Amino acid sequence: MIETISHITLIVRDVQKMGHFLRTIFDAEEVYDSSKKNFSLSYEKFFIVGGTWIAVMEGDPLPEWDQWGSP
């Protein structure tokens, strides 16, 4: 049984727009912005929403999957 969630990572095309969405809709607190130093593969920001860390990373969308889990 899951008791807690450490973080959730979302891959998005526009980190700035997603950050605005999280701050506006969920009153998210921005706690990290990698714009000056990328330690991961791409630009990212971290937010806290209701005690859960939300990592937003810039990237290409995943391929679409059919109803049976195949690309």
Task: Report if residue 46 sits inside a domain.
Answer: yes
Instruction: Output the pLDDT for position 3.
Output: 87
Task: Report if residue 68 sits inside a domain.
Answer: no
In whole angstroms, what is the distance from residue 49 CA to residue 22 CA? 8
The alpha helices in the chain, defined as continuous H runs, are 15-26
Instruction: Output the pLDDT for position 68.
Output: 64
The label of the residue with tokens 């891959």 reads 11
Instruction: Output the pLDDT for position 65.
Output: 66
Counting the structural domains of the chain, the total is 1
Active site residues: 44
In whole angstroms, what is the distance from residue 62 CA to residue 28 CA? 25
Task: Report if residue 15 sits inside a domain.
Answer: yes
User: Which pLDDT tens digits describe the chain residue by residue (71 residues)?
Assistant: 888 888 999 999 999 999 999 999 999 999 998 886 766 678 899 999 999 999 999 998 777 766 666 65
Task: Report if residue 1 sits inside a domain.
Answer: no
CATH number of the domain enclosing 52:
3.10.180.10
Task: Report if residue 2 sits inside a domain.
Answer: no
Range of the domain at 43: 7-58
Task: Report if residue 42 sits inside a domain.
Answer: yes
Instruction: Output the pLDDT for position 38.
Output: 63
Task: Report if residue 23 sits inside a domain.
Answer: yes
The dihedral of CA 39, 41, 43, 49: what is its sign? negative
